[in-house]
Amino acid sequence: MFYFEKGKIRFIRGGRYPACNSVFIDDEIRAVIDPASDERTLLAIHQERPIQVIINSHCHEDHFLFNSRFPDAALWVPSREANGFRSMEAFLEQFYESGNIDEKARTAWKSFFTEVVQYQPREPDRLLDDGDILVFGESRAQVLHTPGHSPGHLSFHFPEERVLYLADLDLVKFGPFYGDRESSIDDTISSLQRIAAIDVDVYLVAHGREGVLDGDPAHIQRYMNVIYAREEKLLTLLASGPKTLDEITAEGIIYEGRTLAGGAWDLTVSERIMMEKHLQRLERQGTVRQEDGLYHRV
């Protein structure tokens, strides 16, 4: 049932999108962080003794997939993303500004989030911020605000167990995702540097084939290096001549033309958003300049 156990911490593996791995705290207060893993396992745990708290590391559908299965549990969420749990419109706003998405795409997204993810608006019971201490009984977790992937993204440090749950700073070989409207490359780097300085035995992550890694900061450095490798590819492309954002997006530096099955997502849109963030970052560094819609390497 559990892929990893230490103290009161249990790790439940999930599958492909829109699922993720979950952390179950089997203590006086039973809690699940990111209940989007294996539905049968989660419901079996709940039937044995009710799950009293569900915690979401951030407001993405593949982390609250089974929130609706636990209507009587208290809901704890990041304070900076609480509105996304309160209404579908606020949830969609984190991806695109109002009016900046065509009605066909909006309808497809709403259908997917309603029918597959079973999104249900809900008022959170507790808002979580950096430094909060969550006490479950014998076990406790320190809340770490680790933005970048999303503005309110949280990680959770269990000091007694020497375990750190990184959520969607997931250390997969593909590298970090920062394709939301308010995602940030610089914040992603700062967050990774922060968690790399925490001395633990085990990293737990929300995605990836296993989801459990030894607490070696080299894993974090390798993951962070993907960001720099993407920028090197982008600069190499611009060395061949000025390019528009459309031309840069078409190169597929990040996704290499891949598509995502099982959702309403178009990875070309994610590619474009992430490339634009890289260009803006390189402009701030003075290695790229933009003129009349063309990006030049300086």
The verdict on 24 and 163 lying in the same domain is yes
Q: Helices 217-239 and 267-285 meet at what angle, rounded to 10?
A: 80
Which of 16-43 are b and which e, b meaning 16 or more Cβ less than 10 Å from the residue's Cβ? ebbbbbbbbbbbebbbbbbbbbbeebbe
Final residue before a domain boundary, out of 150, 181, 215 = 215
Is the confidence at residue 61, as pLDDT, over 90? yes
The verdict on 147 and 284 lying in the same domain is no
The verdict on 63 and 189 lying in the same domain is yes
Contacts of 26 (CB under 8 A, 6+ apart): 8, 10, 45
pLDDT digits (tens, 9 = 90+) for 26-40: 999 999 999 999 999
- Indicate the residue type of 20: C
Q: Is 71 part of any domain?
A: yes
Please give the tally of structural domains in the chain: 2
Contact (Cβ atoms closer than 8 angstroms) between residue 264 and residue 112: yes
Full domain range(s) for residue 257:
230-297
pLDDT of residue 2: 86
Q: Is 119 part of any domain?
A: yes
DSSP label at 72?
A: T
Contact (Cβ atoms closer than 8 angstroms) between residue 144 and residue 14: no
Residue entry with tokens 């065509």: 102
pLDDT of residue 78: 98
pLDDT of residue 268: 87
pLDDT of residue 33: 98
Residue entry with tokens 């039937």: 47
pLDDT of residue 264: 60
Domain holding 264: CATH number?
1.10.10
pLDDT digits (tens, 9 = 90+) for 75-101: 999 999 999 999 998 998 887 654 456
Q: Residue 107's pLDDT band (boundaries 50, 70, 90)? A: confident
The verdict on 29 and 132 lying in the same domain is yes
Domain holding 163: CATH number?
3.60.15.10
Is the confidence at residue 178, as pLDDT, over 90? yes
The verdict on 138 and 273 lying in the same domain is no
Q: Report how far residue 179's alpha carbon sits from residue 119's, in angstroms, rounded to the nearest whole number.
A: 21
The verdict on 164 and 254 lying in the same domain is no
Q: What's the predicted TM-score (pTM) here?
A: 0.94
pLDDT of residue 34: 98
Check residues 108 and 155 and name the one with the higher pLDDT: 155
